[in-house]
């Protein structure tokens, strides 16, 4: 799983940090730090984080490996 956050939209509400504190962290009061490629065990929590973001700044996609795997499956 890959995550990207539009940091121009992010307003530091910190809602994502509550959904998955080990993936999303606010440094100081404003700056969001996050793990862009968390393991699969984080899937549900990351979905919760993305849906809770008041400005919908979090995007969830597939990791490079997942894309590879999928394209192989389709071959």
Partner 1 sequence: MTQKSKIDFKQILDHSHIANPYPLYAQFRETPVALQEDGSYLVSTYNEVVSLLHDPRISSDMRKSDAQKRFMQQAKQKREEMIAQGQQVEEPEEIVPAFIFQDPPNHDRLRRIVTSQLTPERVENMSSHIEQIVKEHLDKHAQGGQIDIVDDLAYPLPVTVICQLLGVPREDEAQFHAWAEPLASVLDPGQVQTEEQQKQIMQAGRQMREYMGQLLQKLKAQPGDNLLSGMMAADDIDGAMSPRELISTAVLLLIAGHETTVNLITNGTLAMLRSPELLERLRQDPELIITYVEELLRYDPPVHFRTRTALADIQIAGTTIPQGATIILVLASGSHDGQRFERSEELIPDRQGNEHLGFGSGLHYCVGAPLARVEAHIALGEISRRLIEPKLALDPPPYRDNAALRGPRHLPVNFKGLRS
Q: Which of 52, 60, 63, 66 binds partner 1 (CB under 8 A)?
A: 52
Residue span 8-37 as binding mask against partner 1, x where in contact by CB under 8 A, dash where not: -----xxx-xxx-x-------x--------
Instruction: Choose among 69, 68, 58, 71: nearest CA to 19.
Output: 58
CB 56, min distance to partner 1, A: 5
CB 10, min distance to partner 1, A: 13
Q: How far apart are CA 75 and CA 61, in angstroms?
A: 21
Residues 3-32 that bind ligand SF4 (CB under 6 A): 5, 10-16, 24, 32
What is the per-residue DSSP string for 3-14?
EEE-TTT-----
| Residue 25: Cβ within 10 Å count | 15
């Amino acid at each position: 799983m890959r995550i990207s956050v539009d940091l121009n939209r992010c307003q530091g509400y910190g809602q994502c940090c509550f959904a998955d504190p080990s993936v999303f962290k606010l440094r100081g009061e404003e700056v969001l730090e996050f793990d862009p490629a968390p393991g699969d065990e984080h899937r549900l929590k990351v979905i919760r984080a993305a849906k809770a973001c008041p400005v919908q700044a979090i995007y969830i996609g597939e990791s490079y490996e997942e894309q590879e795997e999928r394209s192989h499956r389709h071959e």
